[in-house]
């Protein structure tokens, strides 16, 4: 189905099933521990062996020698796989570093060997017997130092400019020129990267934890040098990914190589240190923001430059994209700067780009409002735009940022806020409130599905879409139920299998809108087949309550299927609406914090998110996504930081004991409001993404609340008490 004109009235608009708060249909499996996650797939293949990965203990250089004899002779060991005996391996386009290193070492904890044994304990013990001698090379591990050698944008990533930024900024009566820093961060998902691999002849099957099935299939085939049709990837449940499982990682390749070497199925789970140093992470950023404005609060010039690091051939953390679209200004400059670092690979994590970008931009907006003597909410509203600031002839398909800000201010009690910092006390606590805008682009990508109808009236949905804890099973079932006029009890959803049609996959908050649109397209085709089988005109056939009606005639839906059943497959494909309209999601975050007047301990007390993100397909699961994202925002603001050893080139706190994330005690009451919005430009579902929008802006709202509580402005995340202690107001 080609979607190239705005959606009109369609069966989804009935909202009998779609749009209703619906408990996740996979919930009973999750709560009973029977959901089949990758590492526990004892049911899929017998005689599984265990693999244990060995990571490099240097960050850059070469393996001079590797002695694996003691490991091979250890009890229970079946094989030791290295780059020397694995056979030729290619590097897939989506991988920056090679997944099995040697002799060249590109980053710390790069996988250099896999020990396969009868038990996990035997594999781990034997791995400790491998002796490796390295020839070290000097590496670059410090972004602060590396940025000094970066003089401008790369040839592949030019600056975006409009007007005369330098002249307008210099002439602006009110100016801000400030630098902000965000640290390296880890996805820290609950389920580790894990895979079981088995060969049957030249056919490879992997049961793995991956967000993008077709990417994994394509890249695994390329890496192994085998035809794509020889690779079968299965991932029905993913225990959190947050971008870290978008790509083929070492666990999957090592499991496949181990299984090939031993002739046995092999299971591999990366230990937490290898997840943090071996897979991907969010790169640190240094962001310079310049804003010039007139005394009445109109921005005349806005500039945002961001420095980040990555391995050679890696990409920068694109922290400036939201600044190109969020606020009006006639003179503009945005650009990313990339320093080559020999740290582990930087890549997508939890709203990449906008999340760290808004952590800086929305503090800068608060600082500018203070300079102007304007309320921070009013300052943002005053600089709203309904068109792409860089392309004024390109309107937003929907943009309700102002409504989000105003409604949020009303519900949060913003009018009671003291504009003067450090004026509100609650016992020993200094209390402050902060606001930040939320922004995340709506990304469109083709997505396909197959829908089957059987003689019992059961509808089955098949697509390689994944459920990473976001509720994909439920919203796809709701879509099929709405389209085919049946209850949820008549729908079965099968996901995460490369034998199914290729979907959008999960990531970038594009999954829900695109994958449901793919199911919509398949259901349209199935409805046509049903109508034809029943002798009805498909244009006026109504599907409701398990019955198909056309004029004064009706028939049970199941009757059309008959004994053979019916099936239809289609995909949603997008035309140029995405070019003619800017499609984005918007929101506003309001936060109240308390800061201990004596110790500078920070406690988040209240949080509110107001979101405008198209049709909300399932308010219950959407709310869960947003409050989860808000929780991640607390972590990014107050505690999450991968500490870099700038001498040896690795993340020191590479486990969940040293890498702090929020726990229940850190999270207060959270409220989420969804504006009533549909976006017919986006898809037939009139929906957009919402999960990552809930994260974007949270960190800055917390930082702004801390400033309002204490008068201290911290521009270096995470905001820990040591950065506040010597700047706290005197205790009265």
Supply φ then ψ for residue 165, to 5 degrees.
Answer: -65, -50
Entry field: residues in the chain: 732
- The whole-angstrom separation of Cα 531 and Cα 540 is 9
What is the H or E stretch that residue 510 is in? none
**CA distances to 188, 410, 432, 517 from 420, in Å:** 38, 20, 10, 49
- The SS3 assignment for 428 reads coil
Annotated active-site residue in 569, 660, 692, 730: 692
- The whole-angstrom separation of Cα 675 and Cα 661 is 30
Asked if 539 and 485 count as a contact pair (C-beta separation under 8 A), the reply is no
Asked if 356 and 319 count as a contact pair (C-beta separation under 8 A), the reply is yes
- The whole-angstrom separation of Cα 632 and Cα 262 is 41
Terminal-residue alpha carbon distance, the chain:
68
Give me 357's structure tokens: 């970008």
- Cβ atoms within 10 A of the Cβ of 545, count? 11
- The whole-angstrom separation of Cα 227 and Cα 220 is 10
- The whole-angstrom separation of Cα 549 and Cα 311 is 60
- The whole-angstrom separation of Cα 499 and Cα 501 is 7
191 among known catalytic residues = no
- The whole-angstrom separation of Cα 411 and Cα 31 is 34
- The SS3 assignment for 28 reads helix
Indicate the pairing of strand 391-395 with strand 49-55.
unpaired
Bridge partners, 176 (sequence order)? 291
What is the DSSP track for 566-598?
EEEEEEEEE-SHHHHSB-EEEEEEEEEEEEETT
Supply φ then ψ for residue 20, to 5 degrees.
Answer: -90, 140
- Cβ atoms within 10 A of the Cβ of 267, count? 26
3-state secondary structure labels for all residues of 335-404: EEEEEECCCCCECCCCCCCHHHHHHHHHHHHHHHHHHHCCCHHHHHHHCCCCEECCEEEEEECCCCHHHH
- Cβ atoms within 10 A of the Cβ of 104, count? 14
Residues labelled catalytic: 692
């Amino acid at each position: 189905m080609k979607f190239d004109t705005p959606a009109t009235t369609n069966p989804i608009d009935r909202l009998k099933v779609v749009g209703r708060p619906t408990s996740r249909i996979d919930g009973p499996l999750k709560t009973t521990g029977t959901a089949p996650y990758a590492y526990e797939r004892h049911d899929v293949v017998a005689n599984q062996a265990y693999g244990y990965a060995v990571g490099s203990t240097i960050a850059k250089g070469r393996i001079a020698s590797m002695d694996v004899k003691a490991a091979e002779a250890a009890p229970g060991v079946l094989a030791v796989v290295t780059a020397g005996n694995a056979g030729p391996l290619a590097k897939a386009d989506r991988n920056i570093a090679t997944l099995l290193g040697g002799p060249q070492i590109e980053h710390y904890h790069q996988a250099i060997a896999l020990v396969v044994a009868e038990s996990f304990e035997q594999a781990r013990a034997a791995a400790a017997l491998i002796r490796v001698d390295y020839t070290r090379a000097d590496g670059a591990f410090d972004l602060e130092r590396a940025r000094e050698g970066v003089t401008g944008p790369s040839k592949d990533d030019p600056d975006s400019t409009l007007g005369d930024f330098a002249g307008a900024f210099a002439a602006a009566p009110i100016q801000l020129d400030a630098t902000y820093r965000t640290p390296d961060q880890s996805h820290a998902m609950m389920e580790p990267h894990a895979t079981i691999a088995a060969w049957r002849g030249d056919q490879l099957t992997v049961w793995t934890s991956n967000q993008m099935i077709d990417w994994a299939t394509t890249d695994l085939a390329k890496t192994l040098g085998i035809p794509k049709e020889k690779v079968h990837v299965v991932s029905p449940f993913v225990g959190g990914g947050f971008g870290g499982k978008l790509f083929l990682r070492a666990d999957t390749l090592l499991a496949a190589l181990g299984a090939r070497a031993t002739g046995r199925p092999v299971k591999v789970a990366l230990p937490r240190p290898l997840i943090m140093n071996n897979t991907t992470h969010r790169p640190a950023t240094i962001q310079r923001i310049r804003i010039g404005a007139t005394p009445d609060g109109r921005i005349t010039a806005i500039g945002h430059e961001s420095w980040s690091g990555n391995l050679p051939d890696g990409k920068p953390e694109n922290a400036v994209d939201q600044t190109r679209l969020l606020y009006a200004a006639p003179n503009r400059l945005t650009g990313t700067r990339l320093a080559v670092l020999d740290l582990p690979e930087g890549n997508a994590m939890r709203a990449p780009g906008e999340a760290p970008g808004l952590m800086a931009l929305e503090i800068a907006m608060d600082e500018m409002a203070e300079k102007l003597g304007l309320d921070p909410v009013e300052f943002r509203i005053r600089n709203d735009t309904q068109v792409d600031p860089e392309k004024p002839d390109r309107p937003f398909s929907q943009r309700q940022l102002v409504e989000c800000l105003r409604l949020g201010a009303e519900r949060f009690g913003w009018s009671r806020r003291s504009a003067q910092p450090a004026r509100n006390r609650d016992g020993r606590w200094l209390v402050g409130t902060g606001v930040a805008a939320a922004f995340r682009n709506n990304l469109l990508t083709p997505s396909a599905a197959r829908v089957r109808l059987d003689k019992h009236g059961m509808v089955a949905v098949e697509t390689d879409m994944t459920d990473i804890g976001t509720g994909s099973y439920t919203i796809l079932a709701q879509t099929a139920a709405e389209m085919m006029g049946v209850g949820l009890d008549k729908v079965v959803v099968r996901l995460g299998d490369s034998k199914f049609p290729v979907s959008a996959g999960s990531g970038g908050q594009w999954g829900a809108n695109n994958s449901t649109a793919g199911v919509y397209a398949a259901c349209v085709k199935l409805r046509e087949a049903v109508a034809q089988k029943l002798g009805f005109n498909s244009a006026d056939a109504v599907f409701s309550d398990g019955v198909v009606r056309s004029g004064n005639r009706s028939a049970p839906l199941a009757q059309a299927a008959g004994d053979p059943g019916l099936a239809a497959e289609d995909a949603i494909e997008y035309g140029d609406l995405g070019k003619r309209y800017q499609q984005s999601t918007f929101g506003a975050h309001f936060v109240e914090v308390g800061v201990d007047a004596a110790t500078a301990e920070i406690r988040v007390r209240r949080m509110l998110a107001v979101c405008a993100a198209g049709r909300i397909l399932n308010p219950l699961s959407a709310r869960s996504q947003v409050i989860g994202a808000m929780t991640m925002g607390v972590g990014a603001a107050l505690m999450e930081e991968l500490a870099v050893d700038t001498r040896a080139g690795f993340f020191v706190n590479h486990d969940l004991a040293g890498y702090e994330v929020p726990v229940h005690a850190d999270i207060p009451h959270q409220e989420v409001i969804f504006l009533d919005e549909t976006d017919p430009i986006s898809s037939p579902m009139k929906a957009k993404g919402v999960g990552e929008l809930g994260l974007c802006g949270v960190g800055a709202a917390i930082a702004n609340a801390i400033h309002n509580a204490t008068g201290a402005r911290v521009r270096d995340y995470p905001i820990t008490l040591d950065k506040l202690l010597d700047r706290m107001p005197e205790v009265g």
